[in-house]
Amino acid sequence: MIAYVFPGQASQFVGMGQDLFTSSDLARMRYRQADEILGFEISKIMFEGSEEELRQTSVTQPAVFLHSVICAEVKVQDSPGAVAGHSLGEFSALVVNGVLSFEDGLKLVKARADSMQKACDLQPSTMAAIVGLDDDIVERICSDVEGIVVPANYNCPGQLVISGDIQSVDEACKGLIDAGARRAITLSVGGAFHSPYMQPAQDELKKAIDQIEFQDPSCPIYQNVDAKAHIEPNIIRDNLVKQLTSPVRWKATIEQMISDGVESFIEIGGTGKVLQGMIKRISRETNTATL
């Protein structure tokens, strides 16, 4: 079985999607639709903007979504046996497997980006990538910090991203280095994604999601919050809401997909390499899956 996987925020790059726009009538139509839905010319920022402009949450999330979905529509012929997306990438996956229309998917991504930006503005916060420690050690040290700092992305063996207020993340990073982490790298992000600080954003996103009709999928989606396959629209909807304050269980997701018979993963969107390294490290533990 072949699975399609979709990257999230931080997979953006200046010029993304320009080749699709140049070569495909469908891509040009999608970008025109996106301009109307978003209220600004996103293709101009994606193709000609600066890295700083592209890093703004209100731009990054729709840009990554657009690139992934249009890549799938223009370049991919075969239907997948399963899909999954890393954080924001879950919305791309839900369009490709038919749960959401292109228009509804983009509307929800816009609502998600806007609500997350508001939540970030309420509390200075950040994230940090921890390399070279077992998950349980990272979890323990985060729990010992007085403020709010939590595991946010369980990416692959030896790589876990933490999220919280700036002081607590700094304190946790010092403790993790002392505990033997090879690196603790503060990320250039707008705030503490997948943490309790995203609760206001989750509340706003739920209102937007409740207004959208979710269809039956063409194939299962493995969702971030529980790393399990789902086909029931109401469960998919609930998990999508929970995602904003829950950790991304990417390692467990890939392990479950391999266990369920996925033999090959195709990454769609971004540079095509963001998730590949993670999957290779995870699949080495099972010695089965390929890219």
Give all strands (DSSP E) within 10-156, no chain letters: 82-85, 125-131, 149-156
Catalytic residue among 68, 194, 195, 283: 194
Q: Judge whether 30 and 69 are in contact, CB under 8 Å.
A: yes
**Strand runs labelled E in the chain:** 2-6, 82-85, 125-131, 149-156, 159-165, 183-186, 221-222, 229-230, 264-267
DSSP category for residue 28: H
Distance of CA 17 to the CA centre of its chain: 18
Question: 87 catalytic, yes or no?
Answer: yes
Nearest residue to 159 (alpha-carbon basis) of 126, 128, 188, 190: 128
In sign, the C-alpha dihedral spanning 228, 233, 238, 240 is positive
- Residue 18 tokens read as 């320009």
Pick the catalytic residue from 87, 115, 125, 283. Answer: 87
Instruction: Give the residue numbers marked as catalytic.
Output: 87, 194
